[in-house]
Structure 1
């Protein structure tokens, strides 16, 4: 599965980082999503799917999931 994150629509809720910290981080200044890799970290596939569903801004998109 490939991950994309739209930093322009991100509202910095941090849910993605809480769910999948090996895949997502937050920008220190803006708090917006930082994608650590374009594929889930080992063992975080389900958490990344949950992050997509949980994101209040729908800033996370998965393809080939």
Structure 2
């Protein structure tokens, strides 16, 4: 529940599937980057979203 998925109220249409895919993608990326503390890294990206965007677009970013 690192991404707060249990609190999500989206239940209809394709949105739940898209959110699940995004969740899996984020967690896979964290695993690929050998992030040891996923919750801390997500909080960091929440504070510095430009770093998250840089990681996705360029494939490079300092991971905390």
More strand by share: 1
Same fold, judged at TM 0.5 (above): no
- TM-score, reference length from structure 2: 0.31
Larger Rg: 2
- Which structure has greater helix proportion? 2
- Tell me the TM-score normalised to structure 1 length: 0.30
